[in-house]
Amino acid sequence: MASTTFALVDARKSILEDGFFSMDDSVVGEHVLEMEQKDFPFASEYGLEFCKLNLLDDTRIRSILESFFPRPGLGLCLKYSNDPGHIFSFRKGGAKAGLRVLIVQLWSVGSRAGYWGGSHLLSLPAVRAANGSWEVPSSALKRAGCKETEIKFEQGGLAILDARLAFEIKDGFTITSAFATEDEVKTWAKMLLPRSPELAAKVTEMESIYTKIGVNFAFEDPEPR
């Protein structure tokens, strides 16, 4: 699936020092478009296959995750739309909080994002946002000496970032997944799926193929009509 040269050592260095790593990838852009055309059915066979194909099957993503965590666990998969002028992070606490969560963003064609390099290592003021993440004021980032790197995903692409990093979705949208350490993901709410043999089989397939990566799903009975 890779469209440009990938080197794990460079990706790790970028995530550790800058807080993020990104790549253009037209295939990812095509898959994200297909997901959009189907109205983002995350809790379905198609949605699980999308996660498997674009996250677990991608050797670039998998190698980065496994290089940071002994057994990373998938604990979130949602769409995040553009919200220009608002800067978010998924975790706060800076260096003291440690690297416990990595975020994978699959970007739509024509998306534009801003990443504030080095912000993952700083304890910055933040308030809880409506989307469940933390909103960080740009003034605090600038005072701390952080510089914004703007990236345009012309044909789509992917980014992997430390969850403490401050970022902005300026145009487009991203399908965002969170992978955490094994003990961290145990504290998260389960991703709920309707109980069905087909979905159970798909989850079992994901768990059996990639034994070094956990998936934090639980099944619930569908509501009666």
> CATH number of the domain that 83 lies in?
2.60.120.620
pLDDT for 2 equals 42
Residue 130 domain-assigned (yes or no): yes
pLDDT for 1 equals 40
Residue 225 domain-assigned (yes or no): no
Geometric angle at alpha carbon 220, from 215 and 221, rounded to 5° = 150
What total number of domains does the chain contain?
A: 1
Residue 3 domain-assigned (yes or no): no
Residue 148 domain-assigned (yes or no): yes
Q: Is the CB of residue 70 less than 8 Å from the CB of residue 214?
A: no
pLDDT for 223 equals 74
- Give residue-wise pLDDT tens across range 42-92: 999 999 999 999 999 999 999 999 999 999 999 999 999 999 999 999 999
Helices (H), the chain: 8-17, 26-37, 45-51, 59-68, 94-97, 138-143, 182-185, 197-209
Residue 1 domain-assigned (yes or no): no
18 — phi, psi (to 5°)?
Answer: -95, -25
Q: Is the CB of residue 71 less than 8 Å from the CB of residue 213?
A: yes
Residue 189 domain-assigned (yes or no): yes
Q: Give the span between the Cα atoms of 127 and 135, in whole angstroms.
A: 5
List the domain range (segments joined by +) for residue 127.
8-220
Residue 142 domain-assigned (yes or no): yes
pLDDT for 4 equals 52
**Burial bucket for residue 128 (CB in 10 Å: 0-12, 13-18, 19+):** exposed
Pick out the chain residues at pLDDT < 70. 1-5, 225
What is the percent of the chain where pLDDT is above 90? 95
Contacts of 5 (CB under 8 A, 6+ apart): none
Q: Which two tokens stand for residue 93?
A: 């606490």
pLDDT for 113 equals 99
